[in-house]
């Protein structure tokens, strides 16, 4: 009897944990040259991985909610689950620079470190109009 109650409690913990409710809602594509999957819904949080333009991304839904924080989606890319700003995602595969000019892009010979820093630059870029006159 004790084993049965332990087994049932583990089963219900698995069902009702916050991570068990995450389901794939749709697949979108990354539209900037490089970017990051973040650990938390903030552009200043730790980076889990670097991704490039046109990379397919699974948007996760938790309890019917797709958007987290200030315009971030919880996503799954390969083995990583994290957050990406919705400003960087597109429903259709974008026309990426590396697809238009593959020879040029390959000759740049960018290292993973270079891609990481370019992605961080995109994270820190603020979009919109300036209020300074």
3-class DSSP state for residue 120?
Answer: helix
Question: What does the alpha-carbon distance between residue 89 and residue 30 come to, in Å, rounded to a whole number?
Answer: 5
The structural domains of the chain, with segments of one domain joined by +, span 22-124
In sequence order, which residues have a C-beta less than 8 Å from that of residue 80 and are 6 or more positions away? 37, 48, 49
CA atoms within 13 A on the CB side of 18: 2
pTM, two decimal places? 0.72
Which tokens belong to 29? 């594509």
Question: What does the alpha-carbon distance between residue 77 and residue 68 come to, in Å, rounded to a whole number?
Answer: 17
pLDDT value for 15: 47
By the 8 A CB rule, do 41 and 66 touch? no
Q: Give the pLDDT of the chain (133 residues) as one tens digit per residue.
A: 555 554 445 444 444 444 455 788 899 999 999 999 999 998 889 999 999 999 999 999 877 677 776 789 999 999 999 999 988 999 999 999 888 898 998 888 888 888 888 888 877 776 777 777 7
pLDDT value for 123: 78
Place of tokens 């919109």: 128
Candidates 2.30.30.40, 3.20.20.150, 3.40.640.10, 2.170.190.11; CATH matching 22-124: 2.30.30.40
């Amino acid at each position: 009897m004790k084993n049965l109650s332990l087994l049932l409690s583990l089963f219900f913990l698995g069902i009702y944990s916050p991570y068990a409710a995450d389901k794939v809602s749709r697949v979108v594509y990354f539209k900037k040259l490089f970017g990051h999957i973040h650990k938390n819904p903030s552009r200043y949080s730790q980076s889990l991985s670097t991704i490039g333009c046109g990379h397919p991304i699974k948007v996760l839904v938790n309890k019917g909610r797709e958007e987290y924080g200030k315009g971030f989606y919880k996503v799954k890319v390969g083995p990583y689950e994290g957050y990406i700003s919705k400003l960087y995602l597109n429903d259709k595969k974008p026309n990426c620079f590396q697809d238009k000019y593959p020879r040029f892009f390959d000759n740049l010979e960018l290292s993973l470190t270079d891609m990481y820093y370019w992605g961080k630059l995109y994270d820190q870029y603020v979009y919109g109009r300036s209020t300074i006159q």
